Amino acid sequence: MNELQSALQGIVPAEIVAAVAIAADKAECFEYVEEGQHLVNAVVARRNEFIAGRRCARAALSGIAQAPCALSADEGGIPRWPENTVGSISHSRGLCCAVAATADAVTCVGLDLEKTTRLSPRAMERVVHPLEASFVGEDQAKGSLLFSAKEAFFKAQFPKWGAQPNFKDLALQIDTVSEQMSVGEIAPHLPEVLREAAVRMQFRYRFLGDYVVTLCWLN
Ligand SMILES: CC(C)(COP(=O)(O)OP(=O)(O)OC[C@H]1O[C@@H](n2cnc3c(N)ncnc32)[C@H](O)[C@@H]1OP(=O)(O)O)[C@@H](O)C(=O)NCCC(=O)NCCS
């Protein structure tokens, strides 16, 4: 958890606040009953990840002076962030994190935490754009980085523009020295407003153990 906290501290810009937590092993209660309605029948591990994710989200929101409040989800599972705020939650194997910012400072944000040891060669084939192939080769960790970055991009754009891009609709350019990325190409069939925003989006990432965490945001 400390490693994730440090990694996030290294990638969030000043206007974005991050928080981390570990999901409990034993069944926890929802902090706000109303926000967990869609998960009453879910397995304990999923409920606990949700609860820890919400805990992170409220901690991140407190960093931008937002008082604690319920964060319910819409029918698609997207958290309803308080007015004038944006944020994103991610979890993987009980490790949870969230970011938040004011909507004045940040237009949209997506956060994604992934294991780097799980992407099959077949899944890699679905994720990697031809322009990214020479960077990735057969390296599972690099493939996982692209997977994570594209998930972060998806989570940043979806609440605002509702687009459903495929992984290969995006070709990312990766700078492994600064650990930053940018959109090199985006498919022409996607909405013009998203295409225009995507090339201005910023990406930062860190590898930590067998995880990678990626942040994507637009000021
Ligand atoms: C929704 C999705 C992005 C979640 O990513 P994931 O790696 O499976 O899971 P994570 O733990 O990182 O994120 C889950 C959290 O994201 C948030 N979330 C769920 N749906 C979301 C959406 N449509 N937009 C933004 N955030 C969403 C929720 O907070 C959720 O956690 P919670 O239910 O506990 O609150 C993923 O399942 C998905 O549908 N991806 C679409 C395909 C894609 O990414 N394509 C990329 C093309 S460029």
User: How many angstroms separate the alpha carbon of residue 150 from the centre of ligand 1?
Assistant: 11
**Ligand 1 proximity of 151 Cβ (cutoff 6 Å):** yes
Look at residue 40 in the predicted model and tell me its pLDDT: 85
> And the tokens for 56?
């992170």
Mean pLDDT of the chain: 97
Mean pLDDT by 10 residues, the chain (219 residues): 94 98 95 91 96 98 97 94 98 96 98 97 96 97 98 98 97 98 98 98 97 98
Look at residue 105 in the predicted model and tell me its pLDDT: 98
pTM: 0.97
Tell me, rounded to whole angstroms, the distance of Cα 143 from its chain centroid: 16
Check: CB of residue 211 under 8 Å from CB of residue 155: no
CA angle 29, 35, 40 (to 5 degrees): 55
User: CA 122, CA 110: separation in Å to the nearest integer?
Assistant: 25
Query: CA of 148: how far to CAs of 48, 52, 70, 114, 204, in Å?
Result: 22, 20, 27, 6, 11
In the three-class reduction of DSSP (H, G, I as helix; E, B as strand; rest coil), residue 128 is classed as: coil
**Ligand 1 proximity of 55 Cβ (cutoff 6 Å):** no
Query: CA of 35: how far to CAs of 44, 50, 53, 58, in Å?
Result: 16, 10, 12, 13
Check: CB of residue 56 under 8 Å from CB of residue 17: no
Domains belonging to the chain, first-starting first, are: 2-104 (3.90.470.20), 111-218 (3.90.470.20)
> And the tokens for 163?
């687009």
**Ligand 1 proximity of 89 Cβ (cutoff 6 Å):** yes
Query: CA of 112: how far to CAs of 40, 69, 137, in Å?
Result: 25, 23, 22
Look at residue 206 in the predicted model and tell me its pLDDT: 98
